[in-house]
Structure formats: structure tokens, C-alpha cells
């Protein structure tokens, strides 16, 4: 999948020093592991590199989003993650001021009440559907 860009100054702050970042980011992903086996995380100057074997393309995408939505991370590389071939269609969206999951559901699905679909697709990144933040990157499932 390659390199994903993120807003370095937004997100959850889980590390204070760069020398502890890789371990804390790996632990953060493993807490809600979306399906990555033998995962290893490296961190260098704002760039996270993830290796391992994903159960699905969605699992890899979620791991990337979990790492990228951490304060201090500007890019995520997942080239070394082995991923099965089939992938459900999804679009990536960066939250803007005034956005809500209901507004996004209305835009993408035609019905604001379909917001749980977006929430469920991003459960590892969004813990509360009423608490999203500007600059956060999420998946919008299109299938």
C-alpha cells in the first residue's frame, strides 16, 4: 500500500521521546489489533514503518490509520506488510472543521443514520462517534 501522509501536529499523544515511539506505537496498535501477525514497528523522524502479515487489506489499512493518527507521526509506510489480494472498496477522508460522522454518512450514503457504518469501520481509530478531530484520517467503506 505504501506511504500515507498524516497531520503530525494532531492526534493522540502517546509518546514523549522519539526513542520510545516505536514501542509505544506498536503497543497502541496491538491493544486493538485489527489482524496483523508478527507485527514490528519502527519510528524515525516522524515516519512509522510497519511490517508483518495482515489477515486482510482492511486490517493493514486500520493499522496504518492507528499509527498515523498519533501526534508526532507524519507518515506511515506499510510496504513490508503482506496483504491478501482482495480489498473492499474504501475512500480515505481527512476530518475538517464542522464534520460529524452523520454528515459524512449523509454525503457518502445518502442517510445520516448510516453513521454507525463509518464508526464500525474505524473503531480502532475512533473510540467515541461524537469525538472526532480536525486532521484525523479515517476510512469510508464504499461497498
Please check whether residue 9 is in contact with residue 71, taking contact to mean a CB–CB distance below 8 angstroms: yes
Structural domain range at position 101? 90-141
Q: Say how far apart CA 50 and CA 71 lie, in whole Å.
A: 17
Number of domains in the chain: 2
My answer on whether 7 and 71 are in the same domain is yes
Does one domain contain both 63 and 125? Answer: no
For Cα atoms 30, 34, 37, give the angle at the middle one, nearest 5 degrees: 65
% the chain with pLDDT above 90 = 71
How does residue 15 score in pLDDT terms, banded at 50, 70 and 90?
very high
Q: Are residues 72 and 99 in the same domain?
A: no
| 82-97 pLDDT, tens digit each | 877 766 688 999 999 9
31 Cα distance to chain centroid: 14
Q: Are residues 33 and 62 located together in one domain of the fold? A: yes
* 71 and 8 assigned to the same domain: yes
Q: CA 30, 35, 36 angle in degrees (round to 5)?
A: 70
Domain with 94 in it: what CATH number?
Answer: 3.10.350.10
Tell me the chain's radius of gyration from C-alpha atoms.
Answer: 15
Same domain flag for 51 and 95: no
For residue range 65-120, what is the model confidence (pLDDT) as tens digits?
A: 999 999 999 999 988 788 777 666 889 999 999 999 999 999 999 999 999 999 99
Q: What is the pLDDT of residue 87?
A: 64
Amino acid at each position: 500500500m505504501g506511504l500515507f501522509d498524516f497531520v503530525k501536529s494532531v492526534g493522540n499523544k502517546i509518546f514523549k521521546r522519539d526513542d520510545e515511539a516505536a514501542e509505544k506505537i506498536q503497543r497502541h496498535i496491538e491493544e486493538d489489533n485489527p489482524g496483523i501477525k508478527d507485527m514490528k514497528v519502527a519510528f524515525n523522524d516522524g515516519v512509522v514503518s510497519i511490517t508483518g502479515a495482515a489477515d486482510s487489506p482492511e486490517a493493514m489499512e486500520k493499522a496504518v490509520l492507528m499509527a498515523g493518527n498519533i501526534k508526532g507521526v507524519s507518515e506511515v509506510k506499510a510496504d513490508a506488510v503482506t496483504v491478501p489480494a482482495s480489498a473492499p472498496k474504501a475512500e480515505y477522508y481527512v476530518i475538517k472543521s464542522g464534520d460529524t460522522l452523520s454528515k459524512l454518512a449523509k454525503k457518502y450514503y445518502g442517510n445520516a443514520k448510516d453513521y454507525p457504518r463509518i464508526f464500525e469501520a474505524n473503531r480502532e481509530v475512533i473510540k467515541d462517534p461524537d469525538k472526532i478531530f480536525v486532521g484525523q484520517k479515517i476510512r469510508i467503506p464504499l461497498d
